[in-house]
Chain A
Amino acid sequence: MTRKPFILQNPSVLIVLAVLAVFTLAVTLLSQAYGTGALPTSTVKVLGKTLCLALAAVAMDLVWGYLGILSLGQMAFFALGGYMIGQWLMYARTEVIVAEALAQNPIPPTPQELRDGVTNQIFGVVGSADLPLVWSFAHSLSLQLMLVLAVPGLLALVFGWLAFRSRVNGVYLSILTQAMTLALALWLFQNDSGFRGNNGLSGLQNIPGLDDVSQARLSVWFLWASAGTLGLFYVLAAWLVSGKFGSVIRAIRDDETRVRFLGYPVEGFKLVVFTLAAMITAVAGALYYPQAGIINPAEMMPIASIYLAVWVAIGGRGRLYGAVIGAVVVSLLSSWFTGGRAPSVHLPGYVVNWVDWWQVALGLSFVLVTLFAPKGIAGIFDRIGGLARPRRHGRDLGPDQGALQEREAKA
């Protein structure tokens, strides 16, 4: 039997890519730099950042929706990616500024003076005079770009190896990932951790070497980069979960023990997916923070990762496009409601101010989605596609949870 080509097997990939292309084109044509100017630069940046969040959600869906690990530390990798690229952005930009300042002196600066000047400029705020060891590669873009992948990947590899090896799973693993991101955030909050404590890295929106390019243009460029990366990794993720590899990881999600008994190296599969997802998340972070302009350890607090899980759950787990939809819809809605632009609802006797009540609504809608629509928004597409879950009524046929039931066995 011949296998259908990957794309024909997954028509949703083409649809997602097409929507992404149309979206990017539309934003470009409406932007201030390349089009009518209907969209202000800040909105373009918000849209670009949203695409990065969608990419992080795709990675989260790989880990949670397909592999069944509810990782509550995914944003740690996101922020780490941001920190890695931020180091170069900040160092290179400060170097340019310091070199200009030192050129005012009659005597040209020595390399040591230049380095000391940069160190002072970056670390004066936390009262340190030495360049920390972790900044050794900050002068080189290519090395830092490698670190964007290497550092989160290594962290995920070590953490995953330790956790999967000792068969920590389920709720325990979720709590452990949460502890990991909390530990990392608390460590970065210290002034002597080498990452400027709670000041974080700032001024990241200025790209060294591109000083004469306006922010309006840069924002569109970053939107293109984000859309391109999202498309690329979406195809990669879809390809990964469509083949035999995908079947194995879904089997691990559904019953890990049985897969192990069938002879598959479960830990290896888990480790590969977990590490890959961490690296994808890190790339998303590395694209996100130059658009946000600032990164600090608060971005790593467990709550951020939980929100990522919320987006994926609302969008629909186990559907890559669900993750994208969830991230885009919920994060845009969140910023609209909490930004104070949503009109208040006037009830008799009380005015519902959305800035105050959005979190309540989000929390409750999240409970409702979990209870009544476990497939999330993607469930709608399933229904359109005729993919309905069998109606499970009647008694269990087998002795265990999830066994087929009388009527669905007939159906």
Chain B
Amino acid sequence: MTRFRLLAACVMALFLPMAALANPALDAVISDNLGQIEKPSRRSVQPLVEQIAATGPEGLALLRAWSDRRLGLTAEGRAVIVDGSSVLDAVTGQPVFGVEPRMLRPNSGVRGVIDSAMVAGALNDPDARRRSAALDALARGGTPEQLAALRAALDDPDPVLVARKARLERLLTIQLDKDTQARVAAIRDMAGDVSLDFRAALNPLLAMQRVVSAGQPQGNVARELEVGSDALPRDAALALLVDAGVLQPRLTSAEQRGALAANLRNGQVGGIPVEQLSDPAARDRAYDALEAAGAVPPAATEAEAEAALAAHRFFDLYAEPSPEVTDAARAAQIRAQLRLGAMTGIDLGLDALSLASIYFLAAIGLAVTFGVMRVINMAHGEFIMMGAYTGYTVQTLIADRTLSLVVALPLAFAVTFAAGVVLYRLVIRHLAHRPLETLLATFGVSIALQQLAKNIFGTQARPLTAPAWLEGSVTVNDVISISSIRVAIFVLALLFLGLFLFIMKRTRLGLEVRAVTQNPGMAASMGINPDRIAMMTFGLGSGIAGIAGVAIGLFAQVTSELGQGYIVQSFMTVVVGGVGNIWGTLAGATLIGGLSKVIESLNPGNTLAAQTFMILFIIIFIQFRPRGIIPQRGRAAEA
């Protein structure tokens, strides 16, 4: 019943006009309970605090001031809030001048009651946003009183807030409850949760402190440490002994040299000529002599250090005294880490998939031209770059991002298709059956195109902005998320896989391409023009490179070196996958994409090493499958 009245009062308070002399209810409460306010007692103050909280925002402001020890009483018995130099009337909110308020100093018990009442007020606030804000504040840290208030306010009209409150209650119980069993139960309830706040709540429970002691130490022992193990190197153990005051600091060689230099007399230190001091043994003798003469402070010897190490044991102690809680917390942490590992694995898989689709898009054109003509087009990377710059140019002309993307994709295909056909007609056709020379000639085209792009678009990176619906990411939880652009690229790669399969298996062109791939001479005898087919496939491969360029440009910066970054990986994809077969390219792209992500995750922060290992892996892979994962079969493979 009280709660309902309290709620009703709060609602009332909200609708009350903020008049200059408003809130008579608060005024009445204050004047009725002046004695209680002046000398509150922890046990009996609760109803008063609830009454004040029920009077509305002014009441809450008064409570906050009271708790912060900013509330004072004037000689006439008016409550005032002191905020730095200004003094405000607690009831009206008006400034008061010329008074000397007596400041109230409620004890910590009373302040706890006030705080929880304020939280309870906010948690029961009719405005759902305020309740939510109160929960946010509690999530940042609470007191046992606030936990009690939260437990009293678990009901909520909003089901989302009910769930949040219940969850927060468990988290606060873990951190604040006095009852060990309740904490253990709360930890068990939440075990397996991988969210950041639960892991953050576990961390302080498992915080450890390293201690050195002669026997078994007091407290909750996490583990005993072996001197010389990875966890406790010998030097660290000695430093702990020095910190504990049981061992003199060891002498470093720099200190030794300084002490010797300070005691240099007539070209001699401790009776040893200075020329001999380039020998460490002579330095030790000189220092010993000085130590014996009392000229330098004594330092711990090796034997003393050994003895101290032997006489002491080293422990990690939990700051948390209860072993039950730490055991439960450790178990929960391990479960959280396991699930986290699994989820990281899934996230990694998604990353690898998106990388694989990029490599697939970039390599598919290369694989097709290599399959049909046995030539490697070194300018392939520049076709990718050309596609990206086409996208950029379209975007400067068409402001609408979605429309510009819709225009850019086919246009990039058209531009690079044309470029590929021109390159074929002018260069590659004349170098038939000279693959190494084709490689070099197309490399010449590649450096010319790269420099041309620099001359036209400048050396600085150009942005190719994705439309708004492609920004942001698809998020499953704290760990698993993937940006929408990468999903789109994956879809694009699937689309091209389908389109390519359709062209190859269902059209006349595909039939002829397959015929020329398998045996150009025989295909020519059957009336197929190999030259035209080669030109078409070259154009097709280049066109797909252009589309890949637009896709890559959406998440990378468009520069004249854009294609170069992908060309080696594309070559690897083709070599690993095997030529002349789209499934081989797919397998190669998946292998390379997956592998580079896995190596990267094993060696985080060192992408250079990851790339090195990947290339090494490929060199070794070629040893065992020199023709790729899906090798070309038949007579064409021997050529």
Chain B residue numbers with a CB within 8 Å of A172 are: 575, 622, 626
Chain B residue numbers with a CB within 8 Å of A370 are: 431, 437, 440-441, 444
Chain B residue numbers with a CB within 8 Å of A333 are: none
Which of A4-12, A183-191, A229-237 lies at the binding interface? A183-191
A359 interface contact, C-beta 8 A: yes
Q: Which of B427, B568, B609 contacts A190 (CB 8 A)?
A: B609
Asked if A360 contacts B441 (CB within 8 A), the reply is no
- With contact pairs A176-B575, A186-B612 given, residues A374 and B437 touching in the complex (Cβ less than 8 Å): yes
Interface size on B (CB < 8 Å)?
57
Q: How many A-B residue pairs have CB under 8 A?
A: 158
Bound CA–CA A374/B571 (angstroms)? 26
Chain A residue numbers with a CB within 8 Å of B612 are: 183-184, 186-187
Q: Which of B445, B455, B606 contacts A367 (CB 8 A)?
A: B445
Asked if A367 contacts B441 (CB within 8 A), the reply is yes
A110 interface contact, C-beta 8 A: yes
B108 interface contact, C-beta 8 A: no
Chain A residue numbers with a CB within 8 Å of B278 are: 108-111
Chain A residue numbers with a CB within 8 Å of B264 are: 106-107
Chain B residue numbers with a CB within 8 Å of A174 are: 376, 436, 439
Bound CA–CA A103/B75 (angstroms)? 81
Asked if B448 contacts A112 (CB within 8 A), the reply is no
A162, A310, A363, A364 pick with most chain B CB within 10 angstroms:
A363
Output the least CB separation between A105 and chain B (Å). 7
Bound CA–CA A310/B606 (angstroms)? 33
Output the least CB separation between A34 and chain B (Å). 39
Asked if A110 contacts B279 (CB within 8 A), the reply is yes
Asked if A371 contacts B277 (CB within 8 A), the reply is no
Chain A residue numbers with a CB within 8 Å of B619 are: 159, 162, 176, 179-180, 183
Q: Interface readout for B258-276 with A: 1 if CB under 8 Å, 0 if not?
A: 0011001000010000110
Chain A interface, DSSP helix/strand/loop, else mixed: helix
A18 interface contact, C-beta 8 A: no
Output the least CB separation between B368 and chain A (Å). 15
Of chain A, the residue at the smallest CB distance from B437 is: A370
Of chain B, the residue at the smallest CB distance from A358 is: B451
A154 interface contact, C-beta 8 A: no
Asked if A186 contacts B611 (CB within 8 A), the reply is yes
Chain B residue numbers with a CB within 8 Å of A171 are: 370, 374-376, 435-436, 439
Output the least CB separation between B289 and chain A (Å). 15
Q: Which of A70, A106, A178, A367 contacts B274 (CB 8 A)?
A: A106
Of chain A, the residue at the smallest CB distance from B447 is: A363
A401 interface contact, C-beta 8 A: yes
Asked if A107 contacts B274 (CB within 8 A), the reply is yes
Asked if B455 contacts A357 (CB within 8 A), the reply is yes
Asked if B623 contacts A166 (CB within 8 A), the reply is yes
Chain A residue numbers with a CB within 8 Å of B427 are: 367, 371
B585 interface contact, C-beta 8 A: no
Of chain B, the residue at the smallest CB distance from A159 is: B619
Chain B residue numbers with a CB within 8 Å of A111 are: 278
Asked if B575 contacts A363 (CB within 8 A), the reply is no
Q: Which of A107, A187, A302, A371 contacts B609 (CB 8 A)?
A: A187
Bound CA–CA A180/B571 (angstroms)? 13
A362 interface contact, C-beta 8 A: yes
Output the least CB separation between A165 and chain B (Å). 8
A168 interface contact, C-beta 8 A: yes
B616 interface contact, C-beta 8 A: yes
Interface residues of A in 286-316 (CB under 8 A from B): 302, 306, 309-310, 313
Q: Which of B257, B430, B437, B451 contacts A359 (CB 8 A)?
A: B451
A residues sitting closer than 8 Å to B (CB atoms) are 68, 70, 105-113, 159, 162-163, 165-168, 170-172, 174-176, 178-180, 182-184, 186-187, 189-190, 302, 306, 309-310, 313, 356-367, 370-371, 374, 401
Other A-B pairs, 7, CB within 8 Å; known A171-B375, A179-B619, A302-B568: A105-B261, A113-B253, A170-B436, A190-B606, A361-B448, A367-B441, A367-B448
Closest 3 CB pairs of A and B: A363-B448, A366-B444, A359-B451
17 pairs from A and B in contact (CB 8 Å cutoff): A68-B436, A107-B261, A107-B264, A107-B277, A113-B253, A168-B622, A168-B626, A172-B575, A180-B615, A306-B443, A359-B447, A359-B450, A360-B452, A363-B449, A366-B441, A367-B444, A371-B431
